[in-house]
Amino acid sequence: MSQCLSCVHCGAEYDIRKIRYVCDCGGVLDVKHDLSKLDGAKLVELWERRWGAKRGIEASGVWRYRELMFDVHDEFIATKPEGNTRLYPGGKAAEFAGLPRLLLKHEGENPTGSFKDRGMTCGMTAALMFNSKSVACASTGNTSASMAAYAASRGLPAVIFIPSGKIAYGKLAQALAYGGLTLQIDGNFDDAMALVREVCDEMGIYLLNSINPFRIEGQKAIVFETLQQLDWRVPDWFVPGGKLGNNSALSKGLMELHELGIIDKIPRIAVIQAEGANPLYKMWRDKTEYQPVRDPDTIATAIKIGDPVSWEKSIRGLEWSDGIVEQVTEQEIMDAKAMVDAAGIGAEPASCCCVAGAKKLAEAGVIPKDADVVGILTGNILKDPDAVIGYHQDTLEDRNIKGTYANTPISIKPELEAVKNVLVEKALEKL
C-alpha cells in the first residue's frame, strides 16, 4: 500500500483502508503518498497522453491524475466526469484588479456548477470502496448539491444538513431535485457541521464534508489541471478564496508536484476571506492562536463559516509557500463579482473574493502589477441569482452594499420612440 492517512497535527499514521476522519489527538488527516515510488517525468508523460480522453475514467480532470489520488479499483470510481474547466484571461476583471496577467480558473464549470465535484468524485468513490450504504454532509449549498448528484448517480441515499434560510436558491434547488433528504437546521453551518459529525459517528453514515481526507485529494486536481493548461509553467501567485479546504488542497498538490520535481518554482498563495467570516485572517494578522468566529456573516453565503475544519492544513500551505491571508468587505466582493460577470465569465459571490483580494494586494504593492496570477472561481453565476439581482437593482442596502456597477433593467412603453430615447441616453444610438 503506497498510501496511508497521516495526522496534520501530530504525524500519527493510520491504515487508509479503514474509515477514519480525525486522529486520536483530534487533528485532521491527510492522504500521505509514498512519492519515492513515483517518477515525476513519467507521470507528466502519462498525464499528457490522457489529456483530451473522450470517455471513461481518464476523461475526468481528477482521475487523469489518479497516481496522486488514492489506490482504488475502477469499479468504485464515481465520475461524471468532472474537471476539464476553462482557464480564462481575466479581461475586465483583470483590468479592475490592476493585474493584466490575471487568469481565472473557472471551477463553476464542473458538472453540478462548483469545484466541489472534484472532491466529491473522490469522496463518493471512497464511500463505495468502503461499501457504505448512505452518505451525509453539512453544507452551505454546493457540497450538498454535488453530494446529492453523485449519490443519485450511484443509487445511494444522501442526507443533507443545511443552515435554515441561509443557502442560495440555486443550491437548495439542486439538493431537492437530485433527491437528497434535506434537513434544515435551526442554526448556522458550524452547528450543522457539529450535528452531522455526531450523526455519522452514531449511525454509521459515511461523512462527505471536507474533513473527509479523500475530498481534499480530489480538490488538488484544480492545481494539477491549471498547471497542465499552462504547460507546467508555474505562475507567481495562486489566489483562492474561502473557507480553507480549497487552499489546503492547492498547497498539498503543489507540495507533491514539487517533491516529484515536476515543478521547481514555489508560487505564493494568497488566501482571501470575507471580513465577516475571517478566522484565518485574524489569526494571521494578530499572530494569535486560532479562534473560531462566532455568528459569521457575509453575502457570500458559501463561505459564511466561522470554524473551518481545515485551518491547520491551510497554515501548513501558507508557511510552505510564503503565503499571506487577506480579507475583503461585502462591497469589495460584490464589485469584484460585477467585474467578473461583466467580463463574460461570471461566478457566484464567494468565488469573487479572489479577484477582490488580488486587487487589494496589487494596490498595496504585495502582488506586483506584472505578476502571473491565477484566481480560482469556485461556483457558477447561476447558483445565487438573488445576490445578482439585489446588486443590479441596488436593493442590498440592508448589507450596506451599493450597486456601484449596477446594470439596472429599464422599464419602457412598448414603442420604438421609447427604445430610441433609451439608446440615445446610453450613447448606444449608433448600434
Residues that bind ligand F0G (CB under 6 A): 114, 116, 139-143, 210, 241-246, 302-303, 305, 348, 350-351, 378-379
Q: Are the C-beta atoms of 267 and 376 separated by less than 8 Å?
A: no
Kindly state the cell numbers that stand for 331.
462591497
- Which one, 163 or 390, has the nearer CB to ligand F0G? 163
Work out how close the CB of 242 gets to ligand F0G at its nearest, in angstroms, rounded to a whole number: 3
Judged by CB, which is closer to ligand F0G: 244, or 356? 244
Q: Give 262 or 269: the residue with its C-beta nearer to ligand F0G.
A: 269
Which residue has the closest beta carbon to ligand F0G? 245
- Minimal distance, residue 190 CB to ligand F0G, in Å: 10
Find, among 314, 329, 166, the residue nearest to 248 by Cα: 314
By C-beta, is 50 or 304 nearer to ligand F0G? 304
Pick between residue 35 and residue 152 the one whose CB is nearest to ligand F0G. Answer: 152
Residue 216 beta carbon to ligand F0G: minimum distance, rounded to whole angstroms? 8
Query: What's the chain's length in residues?
Result: 431
Which single residue is written with the C-alpha cell 457570500? Answer: 300
Closest to 224 measured CA to CA, from 42, 29, 51: 51
What Cα–Cα distance (Å) separates residue 398 from each residue in 259, 298, 348, 390, 401?
Answer: 49, 12, 19, 11, 8
Between residues 246 and 260, which has the closer beta carbon with respect to ligand F0G? 246
In the complex with ligand F0G, the residue whose CB is nearer, 116 or 220, is 116
Nearest approach, Cβ of residue 243 and ligand F0G (Å): 4
| Rounded least distance, CB 288 to ligand F0G, Å | 21
Q: Least separation, in Å, of the C-beta of 175 and ligand F0G?
A: 10
CB of 291 to ligand F0G, least distance (A): 18
Minimal CA–CA distance to 78: which of 137, 30, 135?
135
